A and B are shown apart, each in its own frame.
Chain A
Amino acid sequence: MATNTFTGASLSERFLRLKLNQRLAFNSIAGQRYSSISSYGRRNVSFSSQPRSIRLTVSCAAKPETVEKVCKIVKNQLALSDDSKVNGESTFTALGADSLDTVEIVMGLEEEFGITVEEDSAQSISTVQEAADLIEEIINKQSP
């Protein structure tokens, strides 16, 4: 008995013969695709596949080393003393940075980590932790 296989579902020839004039449709999600089979007769089987938008969100905190590096760059950029406390929760404005300083910090981070930060992303950074998280995200995107 011959078997036709479409995305893990098998339809036997006998079953198709019984359902000659009946429309059969079934849906299966394989990966991120929506697949459907329509049978109007034994010789008329159509297969359609279209993309299905499935969104996965993975969020994780940046590594402590990355945060430490960012803190060092921020201190250097804003000419802060070594004993001044800069941590993940520190905001750039609280550290005395203006909008030009923020741009310079982002540019410094780009050079240090060898990345390119998009303009809209750069404008949304306000804390050291946010900067570190964004860097991790960009680095993860770059690595295959």
Chain B
Amino acid sequence: MIFLDLPSIHISSLTLYSVLYLEGAMSAAASSSATPSAAQVLSLFRSLLRAAREFPDYNIREYTKRRTIDSFRHNATLSDPSQISTAFAHGKSQLAVVKRQAVVYSLYDSPLRSVMELQQVPF
């Protein structure tokens, strides 16, 4: 799978990120029969990173980017064509989820910004 199962984390953090993954828990059974090419995989990787940028919230934005990178690196060792196809299909479904949730989060964007986003330390 492109995104691994969520670890057992603090409940407040879980509520923050669960919307991404509860909706994204759809099965990847609809995987295409043809094995995706390296260019297609890289294109999906790029698309996920681009979509992650759209989140207005720093924490979710960085979490999505980190999760994408870690999962692609984890699956870089896959050699079985069916596993690759399944992972690719799951990644595509997750891309749709990320795009959709980025829109939802932008509708309810908070004016407050994370201290991590500041270019200069204010003290």
A residues engaging B (CB < 8 A)? 98-100, 103-104, 106-107, 111, 119, 122-123
Contact = CB atoms under 8 A, between A and B. Distances in A.
B46 A122 contact: yes
A52 B10 CA distance: 66
B45 A100 contact: yes
A103 B76 contact: no
Given A100-B69, A100-B73, A107 B49 contact: yes
Interface of B: 38-39, 42-43, 45-46, 49-50, 53, 69, 72-73, 76
A100 B39 contact: no
Nearest to A100: B72
A99 B46 CA distance: 11
6 contacts: A100-B42, A100-B73, A103-B42, A106-B46, A107-B46, A119-B43
A128 B73 CA distance: 23
A100 B76 contact: yes
The secondary structure that dominates the A interface is helix
Contacts of B73: 100
Contacts of A99: 38, 42
Nearest to B52: A107
Given A100-B45, A103-B45, A107-B46, A123 B39 contact: yes
Given A98-B76, A103-B45, A106-B46, 17 more contacts: A99-B38, A99-B42, A100-B42, A100-B45, A100-B69, A100-B72, A103-B46, A103-B49, A104-B49, A104-B69, A107-B46, A107-B49, A107-B50, A111-B53, A119-B43, A122-B46, A123-B42
Contacts of A100: 42, 45, 69, 72-73, 76
Contacts of A98: 76
The listed residue with most A CB atoms (<10 A of its CB), out of B42, B72, B73, B76, is B42
A99 B72 CA distance: 11
A119 B42 CA distance: 10
A112 to B, nearest CB: 13
A133 B28 CA distance: 41
